[in-house]
Chains A and B, each alone.
Chain A
Amino acid sequence: MQGKLRWGDFVICAVVLALAGLITLPFLFQPSDSLTCEIKQGDTVVKTIRLADGYQDTITLTAGDITNVIEVDGKSVRFASSNCPDQVCVHTGTLTRAGQMAVCLPTRVVVRLIGEDTTVDAVAR
């Protein structure tokens, strides 16, 4: 008698499966090629943008006398200009894939693309 399943057992099963479904749901509906641009200055996230074709934006950030101009064009982001002395941020070029990053050391601005479809874990440069 003890080995037989009762209706209560099925209720528990249903609850467990529903919970499992709820946990999975957000991941199922998130497109695997979604790309988010995170712009940080120091420890503060200044802007987070979900990148999409046709989207355009220009973000200007300053630190002291230095101004960074960051351009978003569809699914690509770049430091369009900067008056920092080393120009490393501008020389980094255009970010188009998850895991890519550009940094302006003098202004402490970091632009990073985040997404599921990561080809590489980091870039040595």
Chain B
Amino acid sequence: MIVVFLTPAVILFLGIFLYPIVRTVIMSLFNIEGVTDPMKLWTFVGVDNYVKLFNTSLFRTASFNLFRIWLYGGLIVMTLSLLFAVILTSGIRGKKFFRAIIYMPNIVSAVALATMWLQYVYSPRFGLIKSILETLHLDNLAKVQLLDNEHKFMALVLAYCFGMVGYHMLIWLSGIERISPEYYEAATIDGANKIAQFRYMTMPLLKGVFKTNITMWSVSSVGFFVWSQLFSNVTADTQTITPYVYMYAQIFGGGNTVTERNSGLGAAVGVLLSLCVVIVFTICNKVIRDDDLEF
């Protein structure tokens, strides 16, 4: 009987999850022109695709960009989202309103958001930042082109973070609201102020949520693609390229012209990115232990 109930789930799991993973790993060992080419057209190259990736300066640049997005963006998003979550759970008025406002960028299409940042905020002609700086008579700063090679990366990260804060704030909120208010009442009676309560109660009890947030952030960062595409028009550049964009260019070709394609190389990028997420998840599990507290 158990077999009857399990079989559909097992078949679906094998077909939808395991098969693509195994096929991607195998593909990464071959040179494949078109992503759907039959196996008879594949050429076995062993680990050459991986060697080529590590020797390609553009892929190294893309990986470094991803690391910077993960690190800088992670610091900004985690800090801001936690701050908002703590403020919203501190009993302020209009909690639902502010929660909706902060989450709103998540329900707006990334294309619309990026267009807003590019055309409205960063525009060197009439951008919000330029106008503010000019109002403050900081004319030299107002002349800085925020979308040139020097500043484009940070402009991209800031815009991306704006869209991500709300999502992670909700995860923090759910964690904080799980903590019984009785603990805070007891702490208040014992004389602990808000900062001490946050430092010695909220933070330790949010370790599990922190782990979830880091994992979710890593997964979404690894798939960094749309924002990169939107911040670079026809072709990606060294400030906006990420491994996903590089993978896309290898599989489907990039830019206005015909470029050499190798889906095997693209698959190798996919395998490496998956390994990155697994490594981050494993490190999080080892470093952050949330099974020492029960509440």
A is bound by B:
no
Interface positions of B (Cβ within 8 A of A): none
Interface positions of A (Cβ within 8 A of B): none
